[in-house]
Structure 1
Amino acid sequence: MSDALDVRQALPEAHRWLLETYPRLRWHDAELGEVARFWLQMHGGFRQKQAAMAGQVAAWHAGGDLVSLHRGLIPTLQAYLQHLDGHHRVETGHYFPVMRRVEPRITAGIDLLDADHDAIHGQLEALFKAGLGFHQALASGAPDAADHAAHLADALERASRQTDRHLEDEEDIVIPLITRHADAFAH
């Protein structure tokens, strides 16, 4: 099984060892620290934006018009792209180095997550370009605006699939690690 994000079906077993001590069923316990809860809230926000955008695309596919799709989708897409890019920058620049230091055995797992960020960045670039193409086509009255919307919908589906996989895998590494080493992540 490949560890590449675009083909990975689950977090590789070698990176799941912290889940034995801190399984997902315990993540609602009082022992889940502030940073871990915040991390899960951030990820929940990304999932909500993805679901909102998928709903807007579905409404368009069900007979909605391009103007309504644009009005709902483009602002949500912009916020999603900015938020996810910023979140990844903080993780890669701040949290991941701390995690490598406090739990060296998980370094390969953190490296996997960092590689995911690179793959997702490519998806974010594709989403930005597709969103801009749709916006420009609709604003100029181009006859192929629906084609641009379809291209954006496809790019969104691909990006969401990879982002969902990454969010779940990251949580399976990060939440147990933050819980285990709460003092290193206390503010």
Structure 2
Amino acid sequence: MTDLIPVRTTAMPAEMGVLLHDYPRDAWAANPHFAKSTREWMRAHEKFRVLSDHLHDQTQSFLDRTRDPDGFADHLGRYGTALVRALHGHHHFEDLSFFPELSEADPRFDRGLEILEKDHEALDAVLDAFSHTGSRVIKLVQLDEATAREEAGILVTQTEAIRAFLNRHLGDEEDLAVPVILHHALRG
């Protein structure tokens, strides 16, 4: 399943969790430095998780023949494009603006930020493959539904890999970034 995307299976280095101990996840919302921009950034992460789950479920429904082909193709085009564009834009912002801001505030965490940037590169590759497969499925729905279902079998594997990747990456990203933001009162 995840051989399509190199899902990082190793944990972030232990030293990346130094501030997480002082700023545990369950206390973030109550922290006065938990700014609106940080909430919105995390809300975007949750939308990515929900959208990847939704695309996976819709693709599985198409494979199970409980989703009509034309509706599925339309849905895949709309929501698949939204996920890919949003993730590319989000990661571009993080790599060019957000991560440098965190690095400047606390360079102790640069090693973790480098790992997260490498994750972005890996995810870009699978998003490109997902886009290619999704486009084929959409075209094949009109031309050859049986072949469209075969391609959708690849697509469901890709969406499962995207979900696994996002669960790993986004959690690590939040656990690294938010404590730095809170500790240094950034973005408020």
TM-score between both structures, scaled by the size of structure 2: 0.88
**1:38 equivalent among 37, 40, 44:** 40
Q: CA deviation at 1:43?
A: 0.5
- 1:163 aligns with 166
Instruction: Return the alpha-carbon distance in structure 2 between the equivalents of residues 21 and 35 of structure 1.
Output: 21
Q: Which stretch has the larger CA shift, 143-152 or 93-102? A: 143-152
Question: Could you tell me how far apart the structure 1 residues matched to 2:179 and 2:37 are?
Answer: 11
Task: Give 5+ residue unaligned stretches, structure 1.
Answer: none
Letter of the structure 2 residue corresponding to residue 26 of structure 1: A
Partner of 2:175: 172
Q: State the one-letter code of the partner of 2:114.
A: D
Q: Which residue of 2 aligns with 1:24?
A: 25
Please name the residue that 1:118 is paired with. Answer: 121
Which residue of the partner structure matches residue 83 of structure 2?
80
* Higher mean C-alpha deviation, range 85-94 or range 121-130: 121-130
Q: Which amino acid aligns with 1:41?
A: R
Q: Deviations over 1:113-150 (max 9, x none)?
A: 11110111111111111111111212333641111111
Percent sequence identity over aligned pairs = 27
Deviations 1:9-46 (A, max 9, x none): 53332211110111111122142222221111110111
What TM-score do the two structures reach when normalised by structure 1?
Answer: 0.89
Structure 2 residue corresponding to 1:102, chosen from 82, 101, 105: 105
Q: CA deviation at 1:181?
A: 1.9
Q: How many residues align?
A: 182
The counterpart of 1:182, out of the listed 171, 175, 185, is 185
